[in-house]
Structure formats: C-alpha cells, structure tokens
Amino acid sequence: MGHRTDAAPFAFIRTNRPVGFSVDLCDLVAAQLRAQLPEWSGEARWTAVSVTERFDALESGGIDMLCGATSVTEERRLRAAFSRTIFITESAILVDAEAFEAEAWGQRIGVLGATTSLKTIDQLLSDDGGEFTELTAFATRPDAVAALKRGAIDSLFGDKVLLEAIIGAYPERYVLSGSEFGEERYAIAFRRDEPRLVAAADAALSAAFRAGEIERLHQQWFDGAPMRDDLRAAFKTADAR
C-alpha cells in the first residue's frame, strides 16, 4: 500500500507512521480485500511514495494501492484504475496574509511538480498571457512551503484543501487569495489490470458511507466539517448504479 508523506490531511507521517483521511479509507479497503481475496490475507505493508514516483511504483508492482491526494484525469486513466470519488476540491492560491492585505504580493508563483496543479497553472498562465512572471515547480510540498516562508516565491498554487492544511499550520501567516479554479476529484488508485481490487474497494467505500463511517472520518480529519453536498451526492449516485 503506497502512501504520500506530504499530503496532509490525506496522507502524511505522524509518530513514524502514515495517517490521514485517505490512509484510513485505504485501511477500510484493505480489510475488504482480505475478506474477499485469498492473496490479500496477510497484513498490509505501507510504502512511502513521492509525488513524482507514485504512478511508476503502481505500474511496476512496487505498490498495489495508491493512497494520497490523487486526482483522477483522463491521462492518468491510461496508467491506473481508480475507485469511486473520495473527495472533491478546487485549485486555489495561497499568499502571505500581510502582503495580501496590502495588495502587494508579487509575480513569483510556486507549484508542486508532477501534479494536476502544475498543468492547471500552466494553462492559466498561457490563457492570460503570463500574469505571473515566474513559475517554479517543487519536488515536495515542504520544499514549496519553505520557499514561500523565505520569500523565494510570493504565492503557492495547488489544491484548496491541501493549501488549507498549510494555513492550519500557520494560521496567522497565510491566506487564500479568494480565487478558485476548476475541480479536482480524488480517488484511490490501482493498477489497470486489477479490476477485482477496484470492485472490492468500491464495495468497501459504499458500505462505509452507508454506515456513516466516511462522514465520521471526514469530520475527524477536516476539523469537524461535514462532507460537501457534491461529495455526498457522488457517493449516493455511485450507490444507486
């Protein structure tokens, strides 16, 4: 089971073990797999994967399941199979709170490399003729936050829910710009040649939703916030099929 280490609150490290909303959902799925498939009878083994290597690890068999903040795209469907939607968010911009208040934040923007955010901001910059004069892609989210803290970049573009986690860590220092872009739908990823795993995962997620377990986990990992109406609707629609 592959997990990200820098995608709080979905998958990150706490007291030397992976934790988070996606990690908990993957544990539910693993329990379902152990019950249904003999080859999954053993204990799950967690393996850390970076944002750049995660799909390579999945395709090569280094991991069987990818747990993190994984957006579903048509391009990625050529490399992996996905469970039903587990979260919905938008893209946004994180800026220094004082600079934003003074309308003085500049034109150097950072983004995490090998993500849908990088493609989104590239397209936005192309469409608006280059409102931001400098775009820097970072290998990890901590690298990007460190660059923002020392002033090497003026803002950070990414998924809103992940940027909100950064604000939670630095509540007086950063804010969102107020603009939102597009939609990102997260799911658990599997190899394309493992339809049984996807079916078992969807069954486990459906059962957890009907039992109220996903709502409980959502409130646990998102400061008591209830599930969004569109996310709840996505679960109900999938159950109705």
Residue 142 has pLDDT above 70, yes or no: yes
pLDDT confidence of residue 174: 97
Q: How far apart are CA 97 and CA 37, in angstroms?
A: 51
pLDDT confidence of residue 130: 59
Residue 240 CB coordination number (10 Å): 6
Token output for 110: 């950072």
Residue 131 has pLDDT above 60, yes or no: no
- Provide CB contacts within 8 A for 72, sequence distance 6+: 82, 85, 185, 186, 187
Q: Is the preceding omega at residue 9 within 30 degrees of 0, hence cis?
A: yes
Mean pLDDT across the stretch 3-18?
Answer: 97
Please, what's the b/e burial string for 14-43 (b: 16 or more CB within 10 A of its CB; e: otherwise)? eeeebbbbbbbbbebbbebbbeeeeebeee
Local confidence band at 125 (pLDDT 50, 70, 90 cut-offs): confident
Which of the residue ranges 42-46, 109-113, 125-129, 160-164 would you say has the lowest mean pLDDT?
A: 125-129
Q: 190: buried, middle or exposed (CB in 10 Å: 19+, 13-18, 0-12)?
A: buried
DSSP string for residues in 139-153: SSHHHHHHHHHTTS-
Residue 22 has pLDDT above 90, yes or no: yes
Q: How far apart are CA 6 and CA 14, in angstroms?
A: 11
Q: How far apart are CA 97 and CA 177, in angstroms?
A: 9
pLDDT confidence of residue 132: 52
Nearest CA to 46 out of 3, 6, 97 is that of: 3
pLDDT confidence of residue 37: 86
Token output for 196: 């049984």
| Strand, coil or helix: 193 | coil
Q: Whose structure tokens read 């990818």?
A: 66
Residue 44 has pLDDT above 90, yes or no: no
Q: How far apart are CA 189 and CA 159, in angstroms?
A: 18
Residue 219 has pLDDT above 80, yes or no: yes
Local confidence band at 43 (pLDDT 50, 70, 90 cut-offs): confident
Q: How far apart are CA 239 and CA 95, in angstroms?
A: 39
Mean pLDDT across the stretch 229-233?
Answer: 95
Mean pLDDT across the stretch 211-238?
Answer: 94
71-117 pLDDT per residue, tens: 999 999 999 999 999 999 999 999 999 999 998 888 899 999 999 99
165-190 pLDDT per residue, tens: 999 999 999 999 999 999 999 999 99
Mean pLDDT of the chain: 93
Residue 128 has pLDDT above 80, yes or no: no
pLDDT confidence of residue 127: 82
